[in-house]
Structure 1
């Protein structure tokens, strides 16, 4: 397998997989173990130590939006808080987003119904701090095609990134180069003050 193959498999198989329980499902294993292993391998050429996790959901429920994330342990070890680099898989179309994103759950807990507005405002400020990455990570917004607090929060939490269609997932060299740029933006945000506005 390769990173591109793992991402493509999630994009293509997730809609049908959701019709079955996630416990013991082969795609849940790909998201939890196989895809993170491929992402770790892709990160080997990037200096530094990262924690990589994938989530198809919790317990007996598939996630509305599965994810595969890279965490700098000095910043966060969880998608709930801080900021991190993440692949997000929309429910409504065959694409995957690479997103430098803010932790959504912590914002929801801290800001309640104003969390989305807070995350969007924070994202605008953080994006301006990373303007030198705008050409290489040009997506200022993403859509995930699912209603609900978490999917809408993930959309609001996006800072910058890229979107891949299925054809683009066949270009492993590009995926790895883009991943390196994403990590560079992640590190730049850390060096430039992180989430402090």
Structure 2
């Protein structure tokens, strides 16, 4: 299996898989392990210590939008908070988004019904900090085709990214090159955020 093959299988098979029971389903296991392993194997050397997790579920049910995320453990180890890189699979079309994103659940807990507005405002600020990545990650908005709270939150939490149609997933070299570029943007953005954050002594923290 390759990264492109793993992504393509999720895009093609997920809509029908959701009609079956979740426990023990082979596609669910592939998202958690096989696809996550392919993303992990595609990471450039400087990101080999990053965490990769895949999730096809929300609670005990299939998720409206499955995901495979890459976390810098110095920043976050969970999709609920912080900033991370994630492949998101829309419910309404044969595509996948590579998204530099903010944690959605933490925003929902902090802001309640105003979470999407807060995420979009933070996204504007973060997009400005990551402006030098726009050439490689030109998508400033994504659509996930689901009215659920989390999918809408993922849309609002998006900062920068790329969208692949099914045909694009056959180009393994492009997928790996794009992933490396997105990881560089992720690392630069989080370093800039850290540099802007006051240290305990009242001085800017080092990146």
Question: What TM bracket, shorter-length normalisation?
Answer: over 0.9
Q: Tell me how far 1:58 sits from its aligned partner.
A: 3.6
Report the structure number with the largest CA radius of gyration. Answer: 2
Q: Please, which runs of 5 or more residues in structure 1 have no aligned partner?
A: none
CA contact (8 A) 2:68 2:86 kept: yes
RMSD in angstroms over aligned alpha carbons?
1.5
- Partners of 2:55 and 2:195 lie apart in 1 by 24
Partner of 1:191: 191
**SS of equivalent to 2:70:** strand
SS at match of 2:143: coil
SS at structure 2 position matched to 1:87: strand
- Corresponding position of 2:33: 33
From the superposition, tell whether residues 193 and 58 of structure 1 become closer, same or farther in structure 2 (CA, over 3 Å). same
From the superposition, tell whether residues 168 and 190 of structure 1 become closer, same or farther in structure 2 (CA, over 3 Å): same
Q: Report SS of the residue matched to 1:22.
A: coil
| Distance in 1 (alpha carbons) for counterparts of 2:112 and 2:194 | 22
| 1:110-189 → structure 2 map (5 Å cutoff) | 110-189=110-189
1:167-197 deviation per Cα after TM superposition (whole angstroms, max 9, x unaligned): 1100000000000011001001111115979
Partners of 1:95 and 1:161 in 2: how far apart? Answer: 13
TM-score scaled by length of structure 1:
0.97
For residues 104 and 196 of structure 1, the distance between their equivalents in structure 2, rounded to whole angstroms, comes to: 22
Q: Residues of 2 paired with 1:58 and 1:39: CA distance?
A: 21
Q: TM-score, normalised by structure 2?
A: 0.92
Alignment partners' CA distance in 1, 2:5 and 2:128: 33
Report the count of equivalent residues: 197
- Once the two structures are TM-superposed, the CA of residue 43 in structure 1 deviates from its matched residue by 0.8
CA distance in structure 2 between the aligned counterparts of 1:117 and 1:194, rounded to whole angstroms: 23
Does the Cα contact within 8 Å between 1:82 and 1:195 map onto a contact in 2? no
Segments of 4+ in structure 1 off by > 6 A? none
Partners of 1:73 and 1:113 in 2: CA distance: 29
